[in-house]
Amino acid sequence: MSEMTLKKYYENHFPERPEKNLQWKYKLRDMLDEWLKELALIIIFVLIYHFGKENAFWTNFAFYGGIAVCGGYAVYLLGIIILRRVCMKFYLTPDHFEFTHGLFKQKVQTFQLSDIIEIDLRRSIWERIIHTGTIIIRFKNGTASQTNPLIIRGIGKYKEMFDRIDYYRNHHRLVLYFGI
């Protein structure tokens, strides 16, 4: 009786077998939220310069110092773009999740889907505006959950990625534990 219920549940909730290997990469649009913050800083410093004409020394100091800070932040953002766009990839197979990262020394981390304890999707106001999201994945290590979860910030296909990882994870658990 319970075997029949389990098969019915399986047929209703998993109409397709996860047999595809999926890959996600960052796109330039996915880093738009960092660039919007940069633009907001530049606008603030331009407004300080424009409306602060009485005290020219402090106005110029704030303006040029602020623009220098914005320039440093822009260089940092270019580095982030290079690292995320070129060096970070996420793979999902029917039984593993792989995360590849690194510029000079590439590191591949592989996790079994049955080791995923929790998967969260979070979206800030910036991410809602530009249609990106942050996915947080917690894995178990031996008997305890991993203290440093895998955080995938600002990915454009957040909903597809979240749904697919959850679907593959639940399917893998049913196959692993019940042999369906």
Interval 78-89: pLDDT, tens = 887 778 888 888
Q: Do 64 and 149 reside in the same domain of the chain?
A: no
> What is the extent of the structural domain holding 122?
2-26+90-178
Q: Do 113 and 172 reside in the same domain of the chain?
A: yes
Say how many domains are in the chain.
2
Residue with tokens 């996420």: 90
Q: Do 73 and 129 reside in the same domain of the chain?
A: no
Q: Do 146 and 97 reside in the same domain of the chain?
A: yes
What does the H/E/C string look like for the chain? CHHHHHHHHHHHHCCCCCCCCEEEECCHHHHHHHHHHHHHHHHHHHHHHHHCCCCHHHHHHHHHHHHHHHHHHHHHHHHHHHHHHHHCEEEECCCEEEEEECCCCCEEEEEEHHHEEEEEEECCHHHHHHCCEEEEEEEEECCEECCCCEEEEEECCHHHHHHHHHHHHHHHHHHHHHCC
pLDDT score, position 162 = 87
Task: Tell me the CATH number at 113.
Answer: 2.30.29
- Phi first, then psi, for residue 105 (nearest 5°) are -125, 105
Amino acid at 165: I
pLDDT score, position 168 = 87
Could you give the CA distance from residue 62 to residue 59 in angstroms, rounded to a whole number?
5
Per-residue model confidence as pLDDT tens digits over 111-163 = 888 888 888 988 888 778 778 888 898 888 766 555 678 888 877 788 888 88
Q: β-pairing, 133-141 with 150-155?
A: antiparallel
Q: Do 11 and 56 reside in the same domain of the chain?
A: no
Q: Do 94 and 17 reside in the same domain of the chain?
A: yes
Q: Do 71 and 100 reside in the same domain of the chain?
A: no
Q: Do 94 and 166 reside in the same domain of the chain?
A: yes
Q: Do 64 and 126 reside in the same domain of the chain?
A: no
1 pLDDT band, cuts 50/70/90, is very low
Q: Do 41 and 94 reside in the same domain of the chain?
A: no
Q: Do 70 and 149 reside in the same domain of the chain?
A: no
Domain edge (last residue) among 49, 82, 115: 82
Could you give the CA distance from residue 145 to residue 160 in angstroms, rounded to a whole number?
25
Per-residue model confidence as pLDDT tens digits over 16-68 = 777 788 888 877 777 776 777 777 777 777 777 676 666 666 667 777 777 78
Amino acid at 151: I
